[in-house]
Structures are given as structure tokens and as C-alpha cells.
Amino acid sequence: MKPLSYVLGLLASQQPVGYQNLSDFEKLWSGYDVKTAPVTKVVEPAPIPTSQLIPPPNMPPFENPLTLPSDFVWGVASSAYQIEGAAKDEGRGPSIWDTLAHKTDLIKNHDTGDVACNHYYLYKEDTQRLKAMGVPYYSFSISWSRVLPYGKGKINKAGLQHYIDEVDYLLENGIEPIVTLFHWDYPQALQDLYGGFVDERAVNDFVDYAEIMFEALGSKVKKWYTFNEPQVFCMHMKVVSKTARKEIPMFGNTPDEVYMKCVHNFHLAHAKAVEVFREKFGRDNDYTISYKNAFASVRPLTESAEDRQAAERYLAFAQGWFTDPIYLNGEYPEAVWEAFGDKGLREFTEEEKKLIIDSADHFAWDGYSGQPVKAPDGGIAACIANEKHPRWPECAVLVDQVEGDWMRGAKSSDDTPWLRNTPQFFREGVMQIWKKFKTDIVIAEVGTSIYNEQKLSIADARYDSDRVEYYHAYLREVLKLVNEYNVPVKGFVAWSIYDNFEWFVGYDVRFGIQYVDYETQKRYFKKSFFYLRDFFNHYIANY
């Protein structure tokens, strides 16, 4: 293991790569009109008003005798760009998300993460609020370009120190950090240098960055994720690489060659970072590393062979492409080969396979929602044979609401059409993962937006009964999975700690279990937060 002096040495000596002097930092940021918050110093926390801690009435009852194991992990989640703000402060470089927000028209209302929830300066208050609610785990991500403004090379001392301070503060307050290295905010300097994760140089740059973070935080942080949802990030690469169709990014968008290269490099970057991690910290102890998966849990709309095939194809592309090499055999699914075999898809070498297979300690799933799947009009075979077909290569259509069916709850919001309350799909999704991969499962993110919540007053938004109903439904499935089906679900992390910048839909959608008043930067516990607290207090044995 490299000693701490390795990081300190890097801090002292490294020069920016490709940028020659200080004013290059300004060059990095040219053309971004970055806003700053009124508060730009770390704030000592004020006591939480006791009125905020009064629990709401009319909670669903906890009546059954089931339990969760005493080491069950429950927590709340966030990600750097969505909450930190301080976009250009203390030496942070821009990421592709600063660019999407500032230099394209793709984000609703032209919202940006410039200020967001100002967590960079308010992290102490945010920690105290978690402590007051008895939250044992906080899952958050590091901004890569805060630590390495140029993506590689020169370390930004202030940025790295910030994360060391935040981790120390969490631990002092009895909250265990879960750290994700990379939650979509890829350094813009690397995007400019070689086009981002489509280029194989991205692999080693990620591993170098990971090593810096393992070195800096590894003595304190035991639970790590390399990537958040490469399924979605690689779609962003496609958007950033300007090959996307003019649809709303992510919805109805399909994989192409940019995506294919990005997925390949994800596998190598993840596996090599995990190799470094295990060399440093060993295995079979309480250190864990994995990555977070995003896919819908699906079932065929009808029993027809075509619909069944469509559901299988959806899973091959959205799940298997990412999971099979890691959890099974180092190989991509057949359907992926058929689609991209003649387009430069590479097989992993034997050496790469060795690294990739078993490079995750559990299966982390962000299982927000599920959907029926059907074959496209005109049939599956015609779609597979036609690369110009709008559904190619999956050739699977996610179905929204089916008349007369009670399986999917009401629309979560106009801007999150992919998300409905679907507890039965959730249970089936976990069962499918368990049957196929036979590994521990952590629900690394789930949560919901609520129809028109952004239009409510603070007092009304706090009364988020629809969100309570969502969590209640999913958590009852977790209880059943653990107690009746004996599935090793080891954790459940709620998205999100509070309302925040929701990517392409900006601040117009709220996912928080705390309300954020963006004008005052005050936070308010919502009913759902009390529900989660009470649920886990009730069910985790000896909690």
C-alpha cells in the first residue's frame, strides 16, 4: 500500500496536465457564467428547531413481527453535482454537467448546480440533521474535478481536504460514510482532451483518481462504489458526444457505438480500480466495493413469445451488458454481440476477464421502478434486422400504464415519466437478480418524486404522504424478501437526503425526504423521513 506521503507528495509536486500556468484555471472555466452562493465558508451548525422534530400523525402502522438483521444498512443518498454547489470555488474544475447546464439548452429552465443545496458549506448542518434522525449511513459522491480540476495530474489540495473534513465530521457524529467515486460528473478537461469515456485513456485516469481517493479516505471509509449507474452515464456520453437523437436524453434513447465503447471502458476502469482497492485493503473484511446499477424491473406485457423475447432483450442490454461480465463470466450477453460484434465490440482478454469477474462484493441496484415490456410494432425480427429502427438494438418497448391494471401507481411527475410506485415489480426485480447472480443485494437508491410537489408551499410539501406510501410499499417487499424468500438484501438507501438538482429536469422535480427552500437554503424534514426512521427503528433487530 502506498503511504499517505504518496498523496501528500502529489499534493505538493504535481503540475497540471496540458495546462501551463495558473490562468489556465480561468481558461478551464471560460464561457461558464457561474453563480456563487451568499454563504461561501463552512458554517457551524445551529441547533435544529425542536418544532421540526415533532413527528407527524397518521403514519402507516408497523404491525407484523418480521425483522431485519442487526447489520442491515439503512441510509440516505446524494451525489456531488446535485447538492454541493460551490461549483468554481476552492479550485474545482468544470465537469460535463457544468457544461450541459451552462452551455446547452438541454436542462429544464436552464437550471445549474452552481449553488444547488450549498452542501459544500452546509455539510455540518446537514450531518447534524441526519444525526438528529438517527441515520446510520450517508451515501454521497466525490466530485472528481474538485479533487483533480484537470481530471488528472495536479491535485487540488483544498478540494481533497474538504472531503477528508466531511468524512471526519460524519464519523465524529456517528454516521458511517458510503462513498461513490464517480456519479456522472466527468471532468470536462478530460472530455476535451480525448472525448471522455469513449477513449481507453479514460480507464487509467479513473484508476489514478480512485487511488488518490482510496489513499486519502481509505483509513476512514470502508464502503465504496466506483461508478453510479454506468447505464445512464454512458447515455450521457452519447449526449455529450452529440450523437444523440433530438429526443429528451435518456428516455427512448438507445445504445450506439459511443455507448458501446463507454460500457467497455467502464468495465476496465471499474475492475482495475477494484484491483487497486483489494491490494490496499484486502478482502473478506468489512471493506466492500461495488458499483450501482440502474435498470427497470420488467415483465413481458403478455405471455406471447415476442413479448417474452422483448423483456429478455431489455434485460440483456440494460442489465446483462453491465452485470454478466462482473457477476458471471467476463462476457457480454449474446444479444449485445449480435448487435455490436461487427461494430468493433471487443472481447475481454483472458487477463482482463480475470480482473473483471468477481470485481464487486455485492449487487447494488437502484430499483426505483418497473414496467411491462412488449415487442415493437412490426415485430422483433424486423427490428433486429433494421439498424435504423428507432428501437434498435433492444427492440423492446417499455409500456407505461395499462388500462384496468393496478400494478403501477400514479404518474410520479410529468418530468419523471419512467417512475411509478411499483412494489411488485420491485420484488420481482430483486428475485430475478438473486436467482441469476446469487450474491448479496443492496438497494443502493430508491425514492420518488411527487406530482406537482414543486408547486406546494413548504408546509404542504412536508406532508408527503405519496412518498410515504411508496417507501412503505417497497419496504414491505424488503421485509418479505428477507424473511419469507430468504433473499440476502443487505441494505436500503433512500434517494434523497433532500431535494436537489435533478439532472435534465433541474429543480422542477423534488426527490427529497427533506424539503429544501432554495431561497433561504433552509431544510425541513418531510413526513417520509420520519416514516423511514420509525420503520428501521422498528424492524432492525437490536437497533
Q: Which of 98, 185, 445, 477 binds ligand GAL (CB under 6 A)?
A: 445
Distance CA 68, CA 143 (A): 33
Shorter beta-carbon distance to ligand GAL: residue 115 or 482 = 115
**Residue 341 beta carbon to ligand GAL: minimum distance, rounded to whole angstroms:** 29
Distance CA 469, CA 483 (A): 21
**Residue 47 beta carbon to ligand GAL: minimum distance, rounded to whole angstroms:** 30
Which residue has cell 424539503? 515
**Residue 385 beta carbon to ligand GAL: minimum distance, rounded to whole angstroms:** 32
Shorter beta-carbon distance to ligand GAL: residue 206 or 511 = 511
Shorter beta-carbon distance to ligand GAL: residue 225 or 539 = 225
- Size, binding site for ligand GAL by CB under 6 A: 12
Shorter beta-carbon distance to ligand GAL: residue 77 or 396 = 77
Containing 313, the helix (H) or strand (E) segment is helix 305-315
Q: Which of 37, 79, 277, 367 binds ligand GAL (CB under 6 A)?
A: 79
Q: Is residue 352 a contact residue for ligand GAL (CB under 6 A)?
A: no
Class of residue 408 by CB neighbours under 10 A (exposed 0-12, middle 13-18, buried 19+): buried
Phi, psi of 124 (to 5 degrees): -70, -45
Each residue 252-291 as x (binds ligand GAL by CB under 6 A) or -, in order, gives ----------------------------------------
Each residue 479-518 as x (binds ligand GAL by CB under 6 A) or -, in order, gives ----------------x------xx-------x-------
- 92-116: burial string, b at 16+ Cβ within 10 Å, e else: bbbbbbbbbbbeeeebbeebbbbbb
Distance CA 187, CA 536 (A): 37
Shorter beta-carbon distance to ligand GAL: residue 126 or 229 = 229
Q: Is residue 182 a contact residue for ligand GAL (CB under 6 A)?
A: no
Cβ contact 373:307 at 8 Å = yes
Q: Which of 166, 229, 361, 440 binds ligand GAL (CB under 6 A)?
A: 229
One-letter amino acid for residue 213 of the chain: M
Q: Which of 143, 226, 228, 297 binds ligand GAL (CB under 6 A)?
A: 228
Q: Cell for 479?
A: 421485509
Shorter beta-carbon distance to ligand GAL: residue 25 or 495 = 495
Q: Is residue 466 a contact residue for ligand GAL (CB under 6 A)?
A: no
**Strand-pair partners of 443:** 365, 492
Please tell me whether residue 275 adopts helix, strand or coil conformation. helix
Q: Cell for 158?
A: 483544498
**Residue 264 beta carbon to ligand GAL: minimum distance, rounded to whole angstroms:** 21
State the sign of the Cα–Cα–Cα–Cα dihedral 53, 59, 60, 61. Answer: positive
**Residue 177 beta carbon to ligand GAL: minimum distance, rounded to whole angstroms:** 17
**Residue 113 beta carbon to ligand GAL: minimum distance, rounded to whole angstroms:** 11
Q: Taking each helix axis from N to C terminus, what angle separates 527-539 and 465-483, rounded to the nearest 10 degrees?
A: 20
Q: Cell for 254?
A: 438507445
Shorter beta-carbon distance to ligand GAL: residue 251 or 485 = 251
Q: Is residue 111 a contact residue for ligand GAL (CB under 6 A)?
A: no
Shorter beta-carbon distance to ligand GAL: residue 79 or 254 = 79
Stretch that binds ligand GAL, among 227-235, 237-245, 250-258, 308-316 (CB under 6 A): 227-235
Q: Is residue 294 a contact residue for ligand GAL (CB under 6 A)?
A: yes
What part of residues 121-160 is at the interface with ligand GAL (CB under 6 A)?
none
Which residue has cell 433486429? 384
Closest-CA residue to 283 (of 200, 350, 362, 388): 362
Stretch that binds ligand GAL, among 42-50, 112-120, 228-236, 305-313 (CB under 6 A): 228-236
Q: Cell for 393?
A: 438494438
**Residue 447 beta carbon to ligand GAL: minimum distance, rounded to whole angstroms:** 7
Catalytic residues: 229, 445
DSSP conformation class of 316: I
Shorter beta-carbon distance to ligand GAL: residue 114 or 229 = 229
Q: Which of 366, 464, 466, 499 binds ligand GAL (CB under 6 A)?
A: 366
Cβ contact 169:123 at 8 Å = yes
Phi, psi of 379 (to 5 degrees): 95, 160
- In order of 29, 98, 103, 114, the CA distances from 33 in angstroms are 8, 10, 10, 9
- On the CB side of 133, CA atoms within 13 Å amount to 31
The total number of residues shown for the chain amounts to 543
Stretch that binds ligand GAL, among 5-13, 196-204, 224-232, 434-442 (CB under 6 A): 224-232
In degrees, rounded to 5, the angle at the alpha carbon of residue 309 between the alpha carbons of residues 363 and 257 is 65
**Residue 365 beta carbon to ligand GAL: minimum distance, rounded to whole angstroms:** 11
**Residue 141 beta carbon to ligand GAL: minimum distance, rounded to whole angstroms:** 9
Instruction: Report the interface residues with ligand GAL, using CB under 6 A.
Output: 79, 82, 228-229, 232, 294, 366, 445, 495, 502-503, 511
